[in-house]
Structure formats: structure tokens, C-alpha cells
């Protein structure tokens, strides 16, 4: 088995994670179980976590982990290696999801394989860490997973007392629904990060284009619920590229016609993935139609005019704005003013003229301001639906 190591890093800024920490009980020491067959890895993980106030247990294989969970039902988080002798990490994940559904699981792997990552997500993992990782990355993922577990427990308690809460605690119901939306955000961010893992050139694109889409949709007059749906679709618009081969997705030069055909399949693939998730079903329409053009020249269905969902028509402008103002391997980035001119030129062809007029009425400096806010937002602070609900013009 490949020797797996963990880097440590002394620089860590707790302020980055203040947003996540507010949902963790400050009076209780969270208990984390580390499962890895490599003793140096277990030692490094234990040391970093204990230095940050966590109660840590470490075991060498899945069998010991299952015994530990039986003896300690109050475990808050499991960090497990994927490749281990005997029962591997994915099999352990299945057991935990079945027997301990309230315990979040983060997978650790040294194998840069998107199929392993997506398989782990499908089987119930809340997040993953690619080895070697540093202290900051570890603590960010741990905080995010602990928050998710905390929200799961809140929601389970809520379900057990649903009738009583409805009649006597309306305020608690609102708070619980807010926490549920936050747990949705965590899932969306993890899915978006899985895509960024493959294509570092477009890292941050999903967050930026979501912010631009929300700003334009709000100016167009959409209500809060519509903003939330569009924000989710915008953030996941390229999720279908998870199935695109690396040789095509990461190719530096121009794609061949055959490669272009394969690349264009990501719209339908993304729709198929997202449509199956109940809370994303409406948002999946944007994922499907985000490359349609107003004049019918787009793909995959060649939709025209108002047959294209409104969210996709708004998103198309935001997507082009970010593409033009971001550096690519094949060209330099251009200014927001140049992007604005290009979008105005394509009104009626690529873009809905009504939405272009709204776009042109917005101050040019808004877009650079939003870009800076997104790029400098602390980890965990972006929150797709939170951003849609809270950001004002």
C-alpha cells in the first residue's frame, strides 16, 4: 500500500471559521475517531486535533473502529482512510451510515481519483481530504463536518417532537429550517469543491458566478424563494463535468469536434445528477439549460427565447461576465468594462435583451466589488442560500 503522510502547518487563523463554530456547543469537547492503518498518519492527525481542543481516539482498522462506535455512541465525527487492509474505508462508511446515521464521516485518501470521491459521497460521506493535507485544510473540514453532524442531531430531535414544536415553538421551527438550509449549503459547497479539485484553472468560478447571478436576478425583481433556487442552480451549473474525462476537461488547447461533443454532454449529465435530489429539483432546470442561447443557437436542446428558463437566461450573462474577466491558459483576462461591451453586443443573439438592459443599468463597479467579496470571504462564509438571502445591492 502506498505510504501516506500528513503535512502539518503552524499557521492557522481561527477567525476563518467563526461562522462554522457558532453552531458547535462551546461547553462540550467534541469526540473524533481517527481510523488509519498507518501509525504516523494516526499520530499526526491526533496531535493536530488535540492541539485544537478535540478529544481524539485513534484505531488502526475498521474492525476496531466498529467496536469503538459500539462502546461510545456519543462519537461526533469519524475520519477514516479509504485504502486499508481487510475492511476498507468505504465498507466502514456503509456500516456507520447504517448503524450510526447521526455520525458524519470524512474520507481520507492519497489517491487522486474523482470516482472514489463521488462514490464516497453517494454512500453517505459528508466530505473528503486528499493526502497530503495541511493543518488548515484538516481543521476546516473537521469544523464543517462537526457542524453538519450537529445539524443532523437538531433535525432528528425536531422530527421526534414535530407536533409539539408546531403548536408551541414556532420560533424554534424557523430556526430549525434556517439550520436545514445551512446544511444544504454545506452539501452544495462540498459538491462544488469536488469539481474544483479537478479543474484548478476555474477554482472559485462557481462562487463568483453565483454572486453575479444573484445580484442580477435581484435587480430583475425576483423574490427571495426564486433567488434561492437560482443560486443553487448557478452554483452547481457545471457539476456534470465531474463525468467529463480529464483529457478533455483539462486540455489546454482547442477541443476537436468529437471532444466538444463530449464536453457538451455535461449539461444533461449535471441535470440527471441534480434532478434526483428533491431540494435541488427546481434548480436542475438551470443546470440543464445554462448553455442555451436566446436565438436558439445554444445546446443541448436548442431552446429559444422564453422557452429557456428565466434563471438560465439570467445566469448566461453572469457566466459570460466571469469567463471574460478571468484568466485562462489560452488568453488573458479582460476588464469588466470590456465584458460589458461584449454582453451588450450579444443582446438578442446569445442573451435576453430585457435582462441585458437590466445588467447595463447596474453600476460597473458592482461586479469587481462582488468578486473581491467572494474571493476574500472566510471559509464557510459563502453559504449559497445565505448569500442569496442576505446580500443587498
Question: Which one is predicted more confidently, 122 or 294?
Answer: 294
Q: What is the mean pLDDT of residues 78-99?
A: 92
Q: What average pLDDT does the structure give for the chain?
A: 84
Give the percent of the chain with pLDDT over 90: 52
CA–CA separation, 182 and 386 (whole Å):
7
Q: Would you say 371 and 208 are in contact if contact means Cβ atoms under 8 Å apart?
A: yes
CA–CA separation, 74 and 54 (whole Å):
14
* Residue 33 grid cell: 475517531
130: nearest Cα among 145, 146, 147, 114? 114
Give the percent of the chain with pLDDT over 70: 79
Highest mean pLDDT among 26-40, 73-87, 117-131, 336-350: 336-350
Q: What is the mean pLDDT of residues 196-204?
A: 65
In sequence order, which residues have a C-beta less than 8 Å from that of residue 124 and are 6 or more positions away?
Answer: 93, 94, 96, 97, 105
Q: What is the mean pLDDT of residues 75-92?
A: 93
Identify the band that residue 377 occupies on the pLDDT scale cut at 50, 70 and 90. confident
Q: Would you say 96 and 78 are in contact if contact means Cβ atoms under 8 Å apart?
A: yes
313: nearest Cα among 340, 286, 344? 286
Determine the pLDDT at residue 68: 92
Q: Would you say 78 and 35 are in contact if contact means Cβ atoms under 8 Å apart?
A: yes
250: nearest Cα among 330, 326, 366, 305? 330
Identify the band that residue 390 occupies on the pLDDT scale cut at 50, 70 and 90. low
pTM metric for this prediction: 0.56
Highest mean pLDDT among 29-33, 96-100, 207-211, 262-266: 262-266
Identify the band that residue 111 occupies on the pLDDT scale cut at 50, 70 and 90. confident
CA–CA separation, 39 and 59 (whole Å):
9
Domain 200-390, second-level architecture: Orthogonal Bundle (1.10)
Question: Which one is predicted more confidently, 159 or 108?
Answer: 108
106: nearest Cα among 46, 34, 57, 45? 34
Residue whose C-alpha cell is 467496536: 67
102: nearest Cα among 124, 120, 80? 124
Residue whose C-alpha cell is 437538531: 154
Tell me: pLDDT of 23 over 50: no
Is residue 3 helix, strand or coil? coil
Q: Strand order in 105-109's β-sheet? A: 55-59, 31-35, 77-81, 105-109, 127-130
117: nearest Cα among 204, 191, 203, 40? 191
Determine the pLDDT at residue 116: 84
CA–CA separation, 139 and 52 (whole Å):
9
Tell me: pLDDT of 129 over 70: yes
Determine the pLDDT at residue 84: 92
In degrees to the nearest 10, what's the CA dihedral of 247, 250, 256, 260? Answer: 100
- Cα→Cα distances 231→37, 68, 311, 312, Å: 41, 41, 9, 11
What tens digit of pLDDT does each residue of 89-107 get?
Answer: 999 999 999 999 889 999 9
Q: What is the mean pLDDT of residues 33-43?
A: 93
Which of 5-9, 83-87, 159-163, 285-289 has the weakest average pLDDT?
A: 5-9
Instruction: Classify residue 58 by burial, with Cβ atoms within 10 Å: 0-12, 13-18, 19+.
Output: buried
Tell me: pLDDT of 174 over 60: yes
Tell me: pLDDT of 393 over 60: no
DSSP codes of every residue in 237-265? TTGGGGGS-HHHHT-SSPPPHHHHHHHTT
Pairing assessment for the beta strands 77-81 and 31-35 based on DSSP bridges: parallel
Tell me: pLDDT of 21 over 50: no
Determine the pLDDT at residue 256: 94
Neighbours of 176 (CB within 10 A): 18
Q: Would you say 126 and 80 are in contact if contact means Cβ atoms under 8 Å apart?
A: no
Tell me: pLDDT of 330 over 70: no
Determine the pLDDT at residue 134: 85
Identify the band that residue 3 occupies on the pLDDT scale cut at 50, 70 and 90. very low
* Residue 5 grid cell: 503522510
CATH of domain 14-149: 3.40.50.2300
Tell me: pLDDT of 196 over 70: no
Q: What is the mean pLDDT of residues 360-384?
A: 82
Distance of CA 137 to the CA centre of its chain: 15
56: nearest Cα among 40, 67, 44? 44
What tens digit of pLDDT does each residue of 332-370 get?
Answer: 899 999 999 999 999 999 999 999 999 999 999 999 999
Please state the domain extents for the chain.
Answer: 14-149, 200-390
Identify the band that residue 253 occupies on the pLDDT scale cut at 50, 70 and 90. confident
Tell me: pLDDT of 309 over 80: yes
Tell me: pLDDT of 305 over 60: yes
Amino acid at each position: 500500500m502506498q505510504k501516506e503522510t500528513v503535512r502539518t502547518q503552524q499557521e492557522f487563523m481561527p477567525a476563518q471559521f467563526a461562522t462554522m463554530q457558532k453552531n458547535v456547543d462551546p461547553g462540550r469537547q467534541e469526540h473524533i475517531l481517527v481510523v488509519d492503518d498507518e501509525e504516523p498518519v494516526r499520530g499526526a492527525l491526533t496531535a493536530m486535533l488535540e492541539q485544537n481542543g478535540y478529544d481524539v481516539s485513534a484505531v488502526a482498522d475498521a474492525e476496531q473502529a466498529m467496536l469503538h462506535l459500539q462502546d461510545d455512541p456519543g462519537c461526533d465525527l469519524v475520519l477514516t482512510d479509504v485504502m486499508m487492509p481487510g475492511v476498507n474505508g468505504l465498507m466502514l462508511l456503509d456500516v456507520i451510515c447504517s448503524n450510526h446515521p447521526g455520525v458524519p464521516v470524512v474520507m481520507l485518501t492519497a489517491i487522486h481519483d474523482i470516482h472514489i470521491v463521488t462514490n464516497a459521497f453517494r454512500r453517505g460521506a459528508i466530505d473528503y481530504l486528499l493526502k497530503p493535507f495541511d493543518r488548515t485544510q484538516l481543521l476546516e473540514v473537521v469544523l464543517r463536518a462537526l457542524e453538519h453532524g450537529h445539524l443532523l442531531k437538531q433535525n432528528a430531535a425536531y422530527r421526534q417532537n414535530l407536533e409539539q414544536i408546531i403548536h408551541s415553538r414556532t420560533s424554534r421551527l424557523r430556526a430549525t429550517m434556517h439550520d436545514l438550509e445551512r446544511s444544504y449549503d454545506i452539501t452544495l459547497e462540498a459538491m462544488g469543491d469536488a469539481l474544483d479539485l479537478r479543474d484548478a484553472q476555474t477554482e472559485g468560478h462557481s462562487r463568483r458566478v453565483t454572486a453575479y447571478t444573484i445580484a442580477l436576478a435581484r435587480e430583475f425583481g425576483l423574490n427571495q424563494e426564486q433567488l434561492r433556487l437560482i443560486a443553487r442552480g448557478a452554483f452547481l451549473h457545471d457539476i456534470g463535468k465531474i463525468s467529463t474525462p480529464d483529457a478533455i476537461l483539462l486540455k489546454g488547447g482547442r477541443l476537436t469536434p468529437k471532444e466538444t461533443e463530449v464536453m457538451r454532454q455535461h449539461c444533461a449529465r449535471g441535470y440527471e445528477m441534480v434532478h434526483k435530489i428533491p431540494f435541488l429539483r427546481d434548480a436542475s432546470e438551470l443546470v440543464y439549460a445554462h448553455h442555451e442561447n436566446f436565438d436558439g443557437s445554444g445546446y443541448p436542446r436548442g431552446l429559444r427565447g422564453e422557452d429557456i428558463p428565466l434563471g438560465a437566461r439570467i445566469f448566461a450573462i453572469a457566466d459570460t461576465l466571469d469567463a471574460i474577466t478571468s484568466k485562462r491558459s489560452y488568453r488573458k483576462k479582460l476588464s469588466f468594462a470590456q465584458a460589458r461591451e461584449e454582453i451588450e453586443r450579444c443582446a438578442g443573439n446569445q442573451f435576453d435583451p430585457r435582462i441585458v438592459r437590466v445588467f447595463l443599468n447596474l453600476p460597473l463597479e458592482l461586479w469587481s466589488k462582488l468578486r473581491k467579496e467572494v474571493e476574500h470571504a472566510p471559509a464557510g462564509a459563502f453559504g449559497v442560500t445565505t448569500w442569496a438571502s442576505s446580500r443587498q445591492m
